[in-house]
Amino acid sequence: MRRRPPVALAAAAVTAALSAVVLTACGPQGGDTADSKPAAAPATTGTPATGTTPAAPATTAPPTTPATTPATRPPTTPAGPATPATTRPPAEPVVMTAGASSAQVRELQARLGQLHLFSRTPTGYYGTVTQHAVSDFQERHGLTASGTVTRATWTRLRALTRPPTHGEMYPPAAPKPVAKLDPRCMTGHAMCISKTTRTLSWVVNGKVLATMDVRFGSQYTPTREGLFHVTFKSRDHVSTIYHTAMPYAMFFSGGEAVHYSSDFAARGYAGASHGCVNVRDKAAIARLFDEVKVGDKVVVYW
């Protein structure tokens, strides 16, 4: 019988070892299976091989006597009285908060006006000016200065003021300055918008029927000037870019529109639009929205 050379025998041994490693790694993860368990060694029977000394029989150990002494336990300290759980006081009910718009907000603004904390005409919109006035009132009277009208704040304010009159809550609008009309406004129906006087005049055949305050875009988003026409109207429009409400929107140049602005009503000329013509008198623009038709002129000029 030919014997393999030593090199061949070594190579065969390496190949057998690698095969054993690959097979061991084939078992699925997560538990033992028949492929991953090592095989049990066969039981040895019969006469031991020559030269092998048989193992001595195992000696049985005497049974262990269990300890009779019980384990020593530390002395038990009697529990003291249970500590009551600390609970937070319930939140105080909120009566009005920022973003609200109602007749009650008008009453709030009028009552704050009686205390010289709100110097503007009541608008019914709870904006930043109203929020700061409420916070000022709360600080002066030892209440939490949250800027939100809680039940305690409302009760205290009503106790220190009298019910406002209808005229205080709905004062007559001051006459608007009439801008010099652009010649393009003198015929047909036109929203004539002057950047000089910051007013919008609704003009029909050269006659001014209504005038209201307006606000324009900032220097980075200026309102376009020129002659335009109303392309479409949307009573409850929401901006798809800024996700803000644009009630009574009347579009005239791309995304620019004449519409009501609650921010303008609350902050006045401290803010600016993104190019639209903002109106702060909601009742006035609601009436205008019903009168303006698609195709009517919009003239924006200095």
Please state the domain extents for the chain.
94-169, 183-301
Residue 28 has pLDDT above 70, yes or no: no
pTM of the model: 0.50
Which helix (H) or strand (E) segment holds residue 208: the answer is strand 207-215
Residue 300 confidence (pLDDT):
98
Confidence of residue 218 (pLDDT cuts 50, 70, 90): very high
Angle at CA 112, nearest 5°, toward 109 and 114?
A: 115
| pLDDT of residue 151 exceeding 80 | yes
Average pLDDT over residues 15-27: 39
180-189 mean pLDDT: 96
Radius of gyration of the chain (CA): 44
Backbone angles phi, psi at 134, to 5 degrees: -65, -45
User: Could you tell me which residues come within 8 angstroms of residue 212 by beta carbon, excluding any fewer than 6 positions away?
Assistant: 176, 199, 200, 279, 280, 281, 284, 285, 288
Of 226, 183, 180, which is closest to residue 199 (Cα–Cα)? Answer: 180
- Among candidates 282, 272, 291, 218, which has minimal Cα distance to 247? 282
Q: 263: helix, coil or strand?
A: helix
CA-to-CA distance for 132 and 146, rounded, in angstroms? 9
Q: Tell me which DSSP letter residue 185 carries.
A: G
Q: Which of 3-17, 23-37, 41-55, 195-209 has the lowest mean pLDDT?
A: 23-37
Question: What are the counts of helices (DSSP H) followed by strands (DSSP E) for the chain?
Answer: 7, 11
Fold category of 94-169 in CATH: Muramoyl-pentapeptide Carboxypeptidase; domain 1 (1.10.101)
3-state SS assignment for residue 158: helix
Range 271-277 average pLDDT? 94
Mean per-residue pLDDT, 273-301: 96
196 within 8 A of 176, measured Cβ to Cβ? no
Q: Rounded to an integer, what distance in angstroms lies between the CA atom of residue 238 and that of residue 294? A: 19
Q: Does pLDDT of 23 surpass 80?
A: no
So what's the architecture of 183-301 in CATH?
A: Beta Barrel (2.40)
**C-alpha distances in angstroms, 74 versus 77, 79, 168?**
9, 15, 79
Q: Which residue has the higher pLDDT, 41 or 265?
A: 265
